[in-house]
Amino acid sequence: MKEIDRIREISRQMSQNATFAGYDHARRVTQVALDIGRGEGADLEALEVAGLLHDVGVPLDKPRHYEIGAFLVKGILTELGYDRDFVEKVARMVETHSRYGGPEPETLEEKVLQDADAVEYVGAIGLARGIVRGMENGSYTGNVDELPALIDSLTKQVSGNLHTERARELIEGRVRFLQEFKERLEKELHGEA
């Protein structure tokens, strides 16, 4: 089995029960990271590996998953025989990927991965994930009257602090969808549609 296939398998195994940060999320973040990375001339191998593994710490310690994730990733990649520089590079990308904790991304690859993860906060995918996340962490009760506020909080999460033009583009379209969805939702809630 090729290393990357093993990494896919490890990601799938380790993110079972991770709901909104499961393997489906890791796979999509990887695709977006490669899309952004291609345009930026970034190290695509590092982006693919880091994208697949960036949230493996979530089932163990959600609030500090980037820290435990970086630790786990070092072990996984060393075990698979990757050289030390690559292991350090990917571990650092995992450690800096979160917009809500951990060190700031500094290298191009660190910035691209953080941007790719941000894209998943908005759009139809972001809304689906946001509802699940909110219900899991207790910030959303499931009351549809409170959904417009949840949508606003998703939009706020991606305002500012983006590193690449491609991510800004993707996010702009997804935020537009959320605004339209919210307008429709409010109409329905007011009995106007």
Query: Do residues 90 and 77 make contact, with C-beta atoms less than 8 angstroms apart?
Result: yes
Instruction: Quickly list H helices, 80-157.
Output: 84-95, 108-119, 123-137, 147-157
- Residue 110 is a binding residue for Fe ion (CB under 5 A): no
- The yes or no reply on residue 117 touching Fe ion (CB under 5 A) is yes
Q: What is the CA radius of gyration of the chain?
A: 17
Size of the site for Fe ion (CB under 5 A): 3
Six-digit token string for 48: 């693919």
Short-list 120, 100, 102, CA closest to 26: 120
Q: How far apart are the first and last CA of the chain?
A: 54
Binding mask 68-87 for Fe ion (x = CB under 5 A): --------------------
Q: Closer CB to Fe ion, residue 125 or residue 135?
A: 125
Tell me the closest approach of the beta carbon of residue 83 to Fe ion, in angstroms.
25
Q: How far is the CB of 58 from Fe ion (least distance, A)?
A: 7
Choose between 60 and 185: whose C-beta lies nearer to Fe ion: 60
What are the Cα distances from residue 156, in Å, to 68, 102, 151, 165, 184? Answer: 27, 19, 9, 18, 19
Instruction: Between 74 and 182, name the residue whose CB sits nearer to Fe ion.
Output: 74
Question: Is residue 95 part of the contact set for Fe ion (CB under 5 A)?
Answer: no
Choose between 23 and 140: whose C-beta lies nearer to Fe ion. Answer: 23
Q: Rule CB under 5 A: is residue 55 a binding residue for Fe ion? A: yes
Nearer to Fe ion, 163 or 182 (CB): 163
Which stretches of the chain bind Fe ion, using CB under 5 A?
55, 98, 117
